[in-house]
Chains A and B, each alone.
Chain A
Amino acid sequence: MGDHGPAKGFGRWLFTTNHKDIGSMYLWFSFAMFLMGGVFALVIRAELFQPGLQLVEPEFFNQMTTMHGLVMVFGAVMPAFVGLANWLIPMMVGAPDMALPRMNNWSFWILPFAFALLTSTLFMEGGGPNFGWTFYAPLSTTYAPPSVTYFIFAVHIMGASSIMGSINIIATILNMRAPGMTLMKMPLFVWTWLITAYLLIAVMPVLAGCVTMMLMDIHFGTSFFSAAGGGDPVLFQHVFWFFGHPEVYIMILPAFGIVSAIIPTFARKPLFGYASMVYATASIAFLSFIVWAHHMFTVGMPIAGELFFMYATMLIAVPTGVKVFNWITTMFRGSMSFETPMLFSIAFVILFTIGGFSGLMLAIAPADFQYHDTYFVVAHFHYVLVPGAIFSIFAGVYYWLPKWCGNMYDERLGKAHFWLSFVGLNVTFFPMHFVGLAGMPRRIPDYALQFADFNQIASMGAFLFGFSQVFFLFIVIKTIRGGKQATDEVWENPEGLEWTIPSPAPYHTFTTPPAVK
């Protein structure tokens, strides 16, 4: 069936409905956004290298923190996971393509326009969004630069893209599994994405509602979030975090799926507690809807609310702990080797757990009064997002890249990339715990002298981490262009349908469904 090759020229990419092409485009797009968001981060770290204002003015600094957050969350992490889902879910469930291929094309192609809108604001009079990626009103409404309207439409488009992507993933998983593949036989990456897709469908409309209310406040004279007009600035935070908290799990659940595929392969032992992994993921997804106000412990909620959100948040530690214990038990008494995907996965387990510990500390409401809006929080969420989401994406790319392009990556280069990233990440983010506890607020362009030393270290780590990612780009291009021919299995007895097809995967796979025992 492989005779229907891809079309020639640029039209192939513009009009493609092929899940592999679209997956590749998502991944390349997300990597471009990752580099752009990284440059924004390096502007921040360069300015914070020492006390005083040296490189940028505070208003531009605020635009950098805002754009860094927005681009990394909506441009780098989410599209990367959608790209992996596009490439892998049809191959993992034995389907020929995604269920809704034309919509697939559309959900990708609106993204570059969304980000063009968003980044163009940096060149506008008054500058780009400068109110933080959490865009609390009224700083983002009454007091926002005029470009906020572009930001609002960009968020709408990103949301539409995510919702369409999610519908497609759910439709594919529920309708297109090969005969014999029951739900409880699906690979965990498919499971975690199924749950993630439901989270997306549930909360993206809430985000859309939130920015629409902002739009109304700014242009049509309403006062949803303006106290002077009878509105409520705290309402904004409730609506935003009702979206925002599930959103952070949207960025981590697919990562759980990826490492759950990789660790068994390199431990040469089946995943421990498959069923409990599925239930734990579902529990985390459910809990994500009832913990949002732990981001708002200092807004002055009644004590009953404070206690409820504290207890609910602490509960998340239970299913998350189950997952970590399962991964470690999978490794236990296995026969381990440490290729690049495994290195990234092990770093994921360790560093994500450290991020989980600081998360547990933050859940304790009275202690949060000291942590809230300090660099301790910055350290916490970068520990869960960088070694969590980003490392899992690296792990996934090294793991499946030989299947995608038919060539093995250079193991020594991959390991070098891992160690550079690992060292860079820890040098950057670990000292942030210290300055946060010592009292440095987040989102400030200049700081008191006692924070200088650790900030200097963090900035050096950031540049190391940043440049290591250019090296990753080099490794990937080198692998695509050539290298040792990969076998069909690529690794030693990996589990999953994707390893039963040739490497590189043909343009069309599973045009007749495989039989699953």
Chain B
Amino acid sequence: MLFFSKRPTIKSLMSVKPFVVFSLLALSFQAFAKSGEVAAGEAQRWVTNMTQGVTATSHEIYDLHMLIFMICVWIGVVVFGIMFYSMIMHRKSAGAVPSKFHESTLVELAWTIIPALILVAMAVPATSTLIKIYDTSDADIDIKVVGYQWKWQYEYLGEEVSFFSNLTTPQDEIYGRAPKGEHYLLEVDEPVVIPINKKVRFLITANDVLHAWWVPALAVKRDAIPGYINDVWTIVDEPGIYRGQCAELCGKSHGFMPIVVHAMEEVDYQQWLVAKKVEAEELKLAMSQSFSMDELYARGEKVYQTNCVACHGPTGAGGVGPTLIGSSITTGPMNGHLSLMINGVQGSAMQAFGEQLNNIDLAAVITYKRNAWGNNMGDMLQPVDVLNHKRSL
């Protein structure tokens, strides 16, 4: 019996203890919470409902959602109302005498047929909305969206504009060493830019595992699946920046691959597109140039912070991925290092960066890794070396 023997103690414990424990717990949590600086906009807090969004589709989905929700609420009011009435009126302690009835075909038929009719009423608007969502024809702009572990690539079909979109929230904010910014975890280096009032079609696929491309304000969510191309469309009404996240578990950094859509006026979009094309031309030219050690090192550091830091850590000391300090790769032969960066490591989280980074960035980040954190190899790589290496493969 041991500690079960003193009955009064148990009783008193019973009435008090859980509440004491709970409030202590709540207090300690509160203290814990204050240790991390949080600066969320007051207006955005305590959101309890779906966004109405900024497209005709998102409005329609919101209305559908509210319709079904209200039908459920009213059914709930009636059903739970009867239940609570019965629980209050038909209590044994109130002297209720039980009836004996236990069957009625008529009643059973009624509560089979009536719900079925309500369902039909729900199915009609749902079907019409779905048919509209599925009409992906006649798009003005096609953007191919490719999910990678853990970033998105956007390719403007027919425009020769293509780029990756990476999370820019610093590790220090994630680990509570710096105050969190307003768009914590929902900010990227390059948002996907679209014009308003144009039918934009997204062709969604993935390079490695499943992802899902989701922007709540557009009411667009579609899985990104290797080997499949899914198409969805949107017409945005208002200029603005709309944020979303990957919605299919895709591994370690599933929570860290946001989507940012920047919708702008048609003119602004065209200007942006031209600027992107100029940038691409300049990049092409730069591919054949030579860079100094300092230039490569500085650029490489940026590339590292965007693409490598999540696994190999801010100081190269490793984390999920192996350490890069004095490793056989970063201090080994240059060709081996380059091959590994281009091809990745099969069956591990180390991706093939040959297609993801351009030759300058590859040269820069390799140079950086071989010279940072005391690796001090003193050697460097030019974009043209990367090109030659790729050709020799």
Contact = CB atoms under 8 A, between A and B. Distances in A.
Nearest to B134: A303
Contacts, number: 329
Interface in B145-188: 149, 173-176, 180, 182-186
Give the 9 A-B CB pairs with smallest separation, nearest first: A227-B227, A444-B255, A449-B40, A300-B230, A438-B47, A357-B72, A270-B102, A450-B44, A227-B226
15 contacts: A53-B175, A58-B252, A138-B226, A139-B209, A139-B249, A227-B225, A298-B212, A303-B134, A307-B127, A336-B90, A433-B48, A434-B49, A437-B49, A439-B244, A441-B245
B90 A364 contact: no
B87 A346 contact: yes
Interface in B16-66: 18, 21-22, 25-26, 29, 32-33, 36, 38-41, 44-51, 60-61, 64-65
Contact of B223 (A275, A298, A445): A298
A317 B87 CA distance: 24
A369 B221 contact: yes
B98 A228 contact: no
Contacts of A318: 112, 115-116, 119
B123 A449 contact: no
B201 to A, nearest CB: 13
B255 A445 contact: yes
A51 B253 contact: no
Nearest to B186: A448
Interface string A123-164: 000000011100010110011000000000000000000000
Contacts of A453: 45-46
B277 interface: no
Given A335-B96, A446-B255, A354 B76 contact: yes
A52 B180 contact: yes
Interface of A: 49-54, 57-59, 62, 130-132, 136, 138-139, 142-143, 227-228, 232-234, 267-276, 298-300, 303, 306-307, 310-311, 314-315, 317-318, 321-322, 324-325, 328-337, 346, 349-350, 353-354, 357, 360-361, 364-367, 369-370, 372-374, 412-413, 416, 420, 433-434, 437-439, 441, 443-450, 452-454, 456, 459-460, 463-464, 467-468, 471, 477-478, 481
A366 B75 CA distance: 22
Contacts of A471: 18
A224 B50 CA distance: 38
B228 interface: yes
B198 interface: no
Interface of B: 1, 4, 11, 14-15, 18, 21-22, 25-26, 29, 32-33, 36, 38-41, 44-51, 60-61, 64-65, 68-69, 72, 75-76, 79-80, 82-83, 86-87, 90-93, 96-104, 107-108, 111-112, 115-116, 119, 122-123, 126-127, 129-131, 133-134, 149, 173-176, 180, 182-186, 208-210, 212, 214, 216, 219-223, 225-228, 230-231, 243-256, 319-320, 347, 349
Given A369-B61, A467-B21, A58 B112 contact: no
A59 B252 contact: yes
B98 A460 contact: no
